[in-house]
Amino acid sequence: MPNPLSDRINSLPTSQTLAMAAKARELREEGKNIIGLSLGEPDFNTPDFIKDAAIDAINENYNSYTPVNGYAQLREAICRKFKRDNNLTYTPNQIVVSTGAKQSIA
């Protein structure tokens, strides 16, 4: 069967994210303890209270890009959570809320 994709598309390099995920899987199979930061697929269902909050946010027209480091109110709430649950003290300027690990590290 002929390849329906153009030569230009076929010449694109391999996704580094997929390559990292494959390497992590290979190392895990060798028995190594690996923390994967490549694919952002959770291994649990989204809790209902988060789904409800997301629906509320959509209904309130929160549909634009967020500030690069996250909403100040959310970063403040995260600081309170760390203090309450873990006795850790952070300031909102030490917290970044992003779409994934790669964006935070970059």
Condensed to tens digits (0 to 9), the pLDDT of residues 52-70 reads 999 999 999 988 888 989 9
Give the tens place of pLDDT for each residue, 76-104: 999 999 999 999 999 999 999 988 776 77
Q: How many CB atoms lie within 10 A of CB 18?
A: 11
Give the tens place of pLDDT for each residue, 12-53: 888 888 888 899 999 999 999 998 777 777 778 999 999 999
The per-residue b/e assignment along 52-79, b for 16 or more CB within 10 angstroms, e otherwise, is: eeeeeeeeeeeeeeeeeebeeeebeebb
Q: How far is 67 from 96, CA to CA, in rounded Å?
A: 10
Q: How far is 96 from 106, CA to CA, in rounded Å?
A: 12
Give, in order, the Cα–Cα distances in Å from 26 to each of 22, 36, 37.
6, 12, 14
Q: How many CB atoms lie within 10 A of CB 15?
A: 11
